[in-house]
A = this chain, B = another copy of it.
Amino acid sequence: MSAAKQDVFQAIADPTRRKVLEMLAKEELPITKIKENFSVSRTAIVKHLHILTEANLVRSRKVGREKLYVLHPGPLVEVRDWLNYYEQFWNNKLSMLKHLVEDDDQS
């Protein structure tokens, strides 16, 4: 009965959404306050908040006429777990894969 949940990787792909997450990590904020930090419309921000909510990365509660959003970091564990698999490569623990991290990295 659950609608197709938004993928956390897809949710954090957008720079605006990452910035929103950063704001909500520091404090609980209503939509209007969040919007103040961006040049896009409030409607656009609301859409991003919907996506973040579907990915379970934020939670909201209604207080008076305001809707307050806050970070819910739980799903980020999935990203961390995914990353952990690749840690071994830049940690240089597998000598047979040493060449992968030895060459110059122009990024």
Q: Mark A62-98, 1 if CB is under 8 A from B, else 0.
A: 0000000011111111011011011101100000000
**For chain A, what secondary structure do more than half of its interface residues adopt (helix, strand, loop), or is it mixed?**
helix
Docked-complex contact B71 and A76, CB < 8 angstroms: no
Which residues of chain B are near A106, meaning CB under 8 Å? 56
Chain A: interface residue total (CB-CB under 8 A)? 37
Chain copies in the assembled complex: 2
Measured CB to CB, the closest approach of chain B to A45, in angstroms, equals 19
Given the contacts A9-B13, A13-B10, A25 and B72 also touching, CB distance less than 8 Å:
no
A101 CB within 8 Å of chain B: yes
Given the contacts A74-B107, A100-B70, A100-B72, A15 and B7 also touching, CB distance less than 8 Å:
yes
